[in-house]
Amino acid sequence: MKDPQVASDGFTYEAEAIMRWFDGGNNRSPMTNLPLTSHDLVPNRALLSSIQEYLDQQKQPGS
């Protein structure tokens, strides 16, 4: 995951994937099928930080 974003349903999606979902005319959550209150996305910085930390650990010798 390169750009995790939280949608109005509270779930985190890859930015590119959820934008394609919206561009396809979908106004419902891919997870719950309930209507989304908005198409606004918020970066999931905590998840991005965890992903980066994991990737950094994988680069260390002996990992």
Spatial contact of 7 and 20, defined as CB atoms under 8 Å apart: no
pTM of the model: 0.88
The residues near 48 (Cβ < 8 Å, ≥ 6 apart) are 1, 3, 4
Superfamily holding 4-59: Zinc/RING finger domain, C3HC4 (zinc finger) (3.30.40.10)
Per-residue confidence band for 18, with pLDDT thresholds at 50, 70 and 90: very high
Distances (CA, A) of 43 to 7, 14, 22, 28: 9, 10, 17, 19
Q: Tokens 């990992």 appear where?
A: 63
**Res. 4: pLDDT tops 90:** yes
Q: What is the DSSP letter of 12?
A: E
Length reported for the chain: 63
